[in-house]
Chains A and B, each alone.
Chain A
Amino acid sequence: MERVVVSMQDPDQGVKMRSQRLLVTVIPHAVTGSDVVQWLTQKFCISGEEAQHLGAVLVQHGYIYPLRDPRSLVLRPDETPYRFQVRLWGAAIYLAKKNIRKQGTLVDYEKESYDRLHTKINHAWDLVLMQAREQLRAAKQRRKGDRLVIACQEQTYWLVNRPPPGAPSVLEQSPGRGSCAASHVHMTKRADFYKQEIEYCRRALGRTRVKSSVCLEAYLSFCSQRGLHDPLVSGCLPSNPWISDNDAYWVMNAPTVVAPTKLRVERWGFSFRELLEDPVGRAHFMDFLGKEFSGENLSFWEACEELRYGAQAQVPTLVDAVYQQFLAPGAARWVNIDSRTMERTLEGLRQPHRYVLDDAQLHIYMLMKKDSYPRFLKSDMYKGLLAEAGIPLETKKRVFPFSRRPRHSSPSPALLPTPVEPTAAGGPGGGDGVA
């Protein structure tokens, strides 16, 4: 922010400063609200509304203060005069004034702090000097204009730094963040730390990198593929529920719906993950696999997911169940894994943990992705689904905007009885309670 304000005060390219008239007194070096807005619009190539907002924020933080109505920190885009606040550099200005007055007879400690401040706020030193000179001049002449200016300056300073009770303060911060000094968490520079660093660097060097132009191409194709499916970019049919107050879109696209829309069925063809993440898609895929007698692959994958994301206490039982059903020789739904992976998995089963089936799961996943999934997309079943799926009609926009549709509430997911949740809430119709 300081950077913006300093560039605003630049004598050549900054905002035009003139002597403004306030009632009968003449104030030097003041700017009008409209000048500020205009300068911001030109310099940053932004819209008038945004410039107005930016100017207002500068006023709120105390960088510019109003001369007419110092109690309200608002930027008015008209002839109301404003000035730039001197803030923060009181000490520096005081010392600079002394320096100018007595031409170098500052006492030792004063000289020290003068130099220290000089290095600290070097970038604003010209500003400080200018303000110091002005204050000296004002003190000498005690013109009414200057006295008014100083009064307004102080008022704004206090308004910003000590807001009256009840008014929000712009200087509020969230609870302090800092570099954590907690040494027991922070790794001290010991051998372990460096070993980790070396390991990390070695891995980083060994990692294959893709050309960034290729990656950007990938985004391009991803965005263009999905562009039509993005409601905020291309709109959605029948209508965006938030705009039309009509939740038909959600009803049509409910997780388990009998007739999925065309866009939804198309999405199953984008990637295997999309297909699996959609409950309707997954169910159709399971049917397809059933016809090919490889349904156990998907079931195995689902069981592994359950293990990975399940409760810690259930890990041993789940692992055992999976083994009995899918991996044991002669199991009811034996999955076809290559011998090396099978050996490794069986080895790991001696000490079951939640990631013990990861290798097997990945193998089966890749098998489905490279083999069954492409066949599914080419199958008659999928083509039939695509043909059947409809495109919803767009609901016409209401002509009379003031006749609002009643917004229907929907049952909370917390109400639906699930087998996992022991405290499945009973009783219908609890949805509208204001707690």
Chain B
Amino acid sequence: MCDQTFLANVFGSCDKCFKQRALRPVFKKSQQLSYCSTCAEIHQVAERVEALGQFVMKTRRTLKGHGNKVLCMDWCKDKRRIVSSSQDGKVIVWDSFTTNKEHAVTMPCTWVMACAYAPSGCAIACGGLDNKCSVYPLTFDKNENMAAKKKSVAMHTNYLSACSFTNSDMQILTASGDGTCALWDVESGQLLQSFHGHGADVLCLDLAPSETGNTFVSGGCDKKAMVWDMRSGQCVQAFETHESDINSVRYYPSGDAFASGSDDATCRLYDLRADREVAIYSKESIIFGASSVDFSLSGRLLFAGYNDYTINVWDVLKGSRVSILFGHENRVSTLRVSPDGTAFCSGSWDHTLRVWA
């Protein structure tokens, strides 16, 4: 859907994204290239934006303590605590500033693929191959066993791939390998709303930061990213341009767009008001899938963790890569920017988490 009419007499492979589309000429550093309409629009915007300075980001903290692959992590609203989960069933809460472990729970299942911190900071939720989402209130009482107070909230018919609290501790949104998402009441475990529409496993979800706070986006193995209305359970918009499983979706800070990372080695930006894909972040030298994406606070940077053990930092407006970060010794499985944007944390199959700033 192109919003500018032009005479298309050239049809071929775009010089930027290599898709077969109608092309128009674009001048880049006095060299003429042929871009498709999507890439041309982003290029026009990019021309007017100042380039970012040289980026130096280093690992500032390394959190060691998991005995197996780290699969998921989440930040607490206090900007320094994080919860992380791993393949052997351990879920650990750290104060990542001091690198101390504060709590640890062992789940009765392996491959804990989803974990989340409650907004109040008083509880965590996690789940995986047990098909359930369990909420653990955090307690410092040495006599109490955290596992004793566990509350089983969600019940799916296949593995739990993602979970997230809504604006309060009392509701949880989950995504599962059975192709559905669901909204649950934590106190009673009651199903408040379920969301059907994906044709395959749902791998990720993210809540919209909008004022009316009523939608969320989910991505799945059917290559679709779908936006849902939490109140009615209906799918509001769907986007299907990826060529492989979508591993991660994250909203742009203004709530008008979202980015997705996929096994086809690209990240894409979809705009909700224009109802289409507006940018593709890819490079020929990147051949491994992106497992996790997140935006910086202003939305200018997109951090993406890949299965080739690296993290690429993309300039959202220019569409180009700003820097590549090495450090992990196995694939990066999860990546989140801290709530105040001062750093981001990445978890990897090499058993460690790293905080970068």
Contact = CB atoms under 8 A, between A and B. Distances in A.
Interface of A: 1, 3-4, 40, 43-47, 49-51, 53-54, 57, 168, 172, 174-175, 177-180, 182, 185-187, 200, 203-204, 207, 209-220, 222-223, 225-227, 229-233, 236, 240-243, 247, 249-250, 253, 272-273, 305, 308-313, 355, 358, 362, 365, 407-410, 412-415, 418, 420-421, 423, 425-427, 430-435
Contact of A423 (B137, B171, B201, B330): B137
B60 A210 contact: no
A410 B357 CA distance: 20
Given A210-B273, A223-B298, A54 B100 contact: no
Nearest to B48: A220
Contacts of A49: 326
Given A409-B98, A412-B138, A220 B49 contact: yes
Given A222-B299, A226-B298, A409-B95, A215 B185 contact: no
Given A233-B300, A241-B97, A418-B122, A253 B157 contact: no
Interface string B268-296: 00010111101000011101100000001
Contact of A219 (B257, B297, B341): B257
A240 B300 CA distance: 18
Contact of B111 (A1, A47, A175, A410): A175
5 closest Cβ pairs, A-B complex: A413-B121, A430-B140, A44-B285, A226-B298, A230-B298
Given A53-B326, A273-B209, A427-B141, 13 more contacts: A46-B285, A47-B324, A182-B179, A200-B234, A212-B278, A219-B45, A226-B297, A226-B300, A242-B97, A273-B211, A311-B170, A312-B185, A312-B192
B270 to A, nearest CB: 10
A213 B41 contact: yes
B243 interface: no
A435 B142 CA distance: 9
B287 A4 contact: yes
A199 B233 CA distance: 14
A409 B200 contact: no
A232 B330 contact: no
A180 B211 contact: no
Give the interface centre of A45, A174, A236, A415 by most chain B CB atoms within 10 Å: A174
A69 B1 CA distance: 55
A369 B319 CA distance: 34
A180 B178 contact: yes
- Which bracket fits the contact residues of B? 35 or more
Contacts of A426: 141
A426 B153 CA distance: 26
A188 B341 CA distance: 44
B159 A247 contact: no
Contacts of A418: 120, 122
Nearest to A354: B192
A186 B95 contact: no
Contacts of B111: 174-175
B118 to A, nearest CB: 9
Contacts of A46: 283, 285
Nearest to B252: A219
Contact of B211 (A43, A223, A365): A365
Interface stretch (B7-15, B24-32, B78-86): B78-86
Given A53-B326, A231-B297, A415-B140, A213 B188 contact: no
B67 to A, nearest CB: 13
Contacts of B221: 177-179
B317 interface: yes
A180 B274 contact: no
24 contacts: A4-B287, A40-B285, A50-B310, A57-B309, A179-B221, A180-B201, A200-B235, A212-B274, A212-B276, A219-B256, A220-B45, A227-B298, A229-B298, A232-B57, A232-B344, A233-B301, A240-B343, A308-B213, A410-B97, A412-B95, A412-B138, A425-B139, A427-B141, A431-B140
Given A180-B178, A212-B3, A413-B77, A407 B97 contact: yes
A211 B276 CA distance: 10
B299 A226 contact: yes
Contacts of A409: 95, 97-98, 100
A218 B80 contact: no
Nearest to A430: B140
B88 interface: no
Contact of A231 (B45, B97, B342): B342
B49 A209 contact: no
B340 interface: yes
A425 B123 CA distance: 12
A222 B285 CA distance: 31
B287 A216 contact: no
Interface string B302-341: 0000001110000011000000101000100000010011
B301 A413 contact: no
A226 B253 CA distance: 10
Interface in B249-277: 252-254, 256-257, 271, 273-276
